[in-house]
């Protein structure tokens, strides 16, 4: 197996609205869409669509959403051995996207909150055959820490996407990650430093290097991305597109980066492809519904 994603799955309930409601206001949404989401599942689906073999470790609920989520993993060729049924509701995410493509997301973790360190240990033998572990923060932090420790035990590189931002994340417990990939907001929250100008971003990112994480990759939306190591930095330019729905673009970036990192081992090239892939995803509505497959992405890159 190429990649183990230990993380969340959600059902995205997306309302397309003209503008965000003010407090106490009711607004009408002209359009609604329901789709499979969750940061972990999104990243797994991207990597699988691009050709990686992916094992998902996650928990689904005992409701009408669970079968659909499992069927979706299977349709995308993802190994579901560790998609565990749980006496809880499935994770759901009401999402609001306005006409300027700004989004607001509420996550109700449901079964995702019950993915435990024991679940990770129970899957250890199979996770240990993977070449990369990808983690996000929609599952309990103790489970994330266990997965980082497992990666270290087996010499598997771990990529942590610290999203959504969690003030309680203990950096010392994730210092054994090989890659950390925050956006500006997450970077600022993790370090307690501003991350507005490029200089701010560099200063805050170097705090993560000092913690001991060798590769800090900050996604900067329209400004591209910054990859920092002890040896220097690379700025990855953004690809300009007409954005319709940016929901799940960060997951598109990370899933694509993970795929090419494992497939080719060239970090900079993988980042450039990830930037292109994420930009393409925002031209279509929805989260997983906006992700290209390998053939579509090849065509796009050749265009």
Which residues contact ligand RIB (rule: CB under 6 A)? 10, 12, 37-39, 42, 93, 105, 107, 138, 247-248, 250-251, 287
Looking at the Cβ atoms of 136 and 215, the one nearer to ligand RIB is 136
Cα 79 to Cα 234: distance, rounded to the nearest angstrom: 34
Looking at the Cβ atoms of 12 and 186, the one nearer to ligand RIB is 12
Closest residue to ligand RIB, Cβ-based? 37
For 38-146, strand residue ranges (E) read 54-60, 79-85, 92-97, 103-105, 132-135
| In contact, 260 and 274? CB cutoff 8 Å | yes
Q: Which is the catalytic residue, given 2, 12, 245, 251?
A: 251
Cα 175 to Cα 1: distance, rounded to the nearest angstrom: 25
Looking at the Cβ atoms of 44 and 156, the one nearer to ligand RIB is 44
Nearest-approach distance from CB 289 to ligand RIB, in angstroms? 10
Nearest-approach distance from CB 91 to ligand RIB, in angstroms? 7
**C-alpha torsion sign, points 31, 32, 36, 39:** positive
Looking at the Cβ atoms of 10 and 189, the one nearer to ligand RIB is 10
- Closest by Cα among 200, 136, 143, 196 to 166: 136
Nearest-approach distance from CB 17 to ligand RIB, in angstroms? 17
Determine the straight-line distance between the first and last CA of the chain, rounded to whole angstroms.
Answer: 31
245 is catalytic: no
Nearest-approach distance from CB 22 to ligand RIB, in angstroms? 24
Instruction: Map residue 36 onto helix, strand or coil.
Output: strand
Chain-centroid distance, C-alpha 98 = 22
Classify residue 100 by its DSSP letter: T
Looking at the Cβ atoms of 39 and 55, the one nearer to ligand RIB is 39
Looking at the Cβ atoms of 61 and 250, the one nearer to ligand RIB is 250
Token duo for residue 159? 């990529």
- Residue 41 CB partners (closer than 8 Å, separation 6+): 5, 7, 8, 9, 10, 56, 58, 69, 72, 73, 288
Nearest-approach distance from CB 65 to ligand RIB, in angstroms? 12
| In contact, 113 and 34? CB cutoff 8 Å | no
**C-alpha torsion sign, points 261, 49, 134, 42:** positive
Nearest-approach distance from CB 163 to ligand RIB, in angstroms? 7
Residues marked as catalytic: 251
């Amino acid at each position: 197996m190429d990649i183990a994603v230990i993380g969340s799955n959600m059902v995205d309930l997306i309302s397309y609205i003209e503008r965000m409601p003010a407090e106490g206001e009711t607004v009408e949404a002209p359009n609604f869409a329901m789709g499979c989401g969750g940061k972990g599942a999104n990243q797994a689906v991207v990597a699988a669509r691009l050709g990686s073999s992916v094992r998902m470790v996650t928990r689904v609920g005992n409701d009408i959403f669970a079968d659909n989520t499992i069927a979706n993993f299977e349709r995308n060729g993802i190994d579901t051995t560790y998609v565990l049924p749980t006496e809880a509701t499935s994770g759901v995410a009401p999402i609001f996207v306005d006409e300027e493509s700004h989004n607001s997301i509420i996550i109700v973790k449901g079964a995702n909150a019950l993915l435990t360190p024991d679940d990770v240990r129970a899957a250890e033998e199979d996770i240990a055959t993977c070449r990369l572990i990808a983690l996000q923060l929609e599952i309990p932090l103790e489970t994330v820490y266990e997965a980082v420790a497992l990666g270290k035990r087996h010499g598997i590189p771990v990529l942590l996407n610290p999203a959504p931002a969690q003030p309680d994340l203990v950096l010392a417990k994730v210092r054994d990650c090989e890659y950390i990939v925050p956006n500006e907001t997450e970077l600022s929250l993790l370090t307690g430093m501003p991350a507005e100008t490029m200089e701010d971003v560099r200063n805050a990112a170097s705090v993560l290097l000092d913690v001991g994480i060798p590769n800090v990759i900050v996604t900067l939306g329209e400004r591209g991305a910054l990859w920092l190591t002890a040896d220097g930095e690379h700025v990855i330019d953004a690809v300009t597109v007409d954005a319709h729905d940016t929901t799940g673009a960060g997951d598109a970036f990370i899933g694509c980066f993970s795929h090419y990192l494992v497939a080719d081992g060239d970090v900079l090239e993988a980042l450039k492809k990830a930037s292109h892939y994420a930009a393409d995803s925002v031209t279509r509505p929805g989260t997983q519904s906006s992700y290209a497959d390998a053939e579509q992405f090849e065509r796009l890159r050749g265009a």
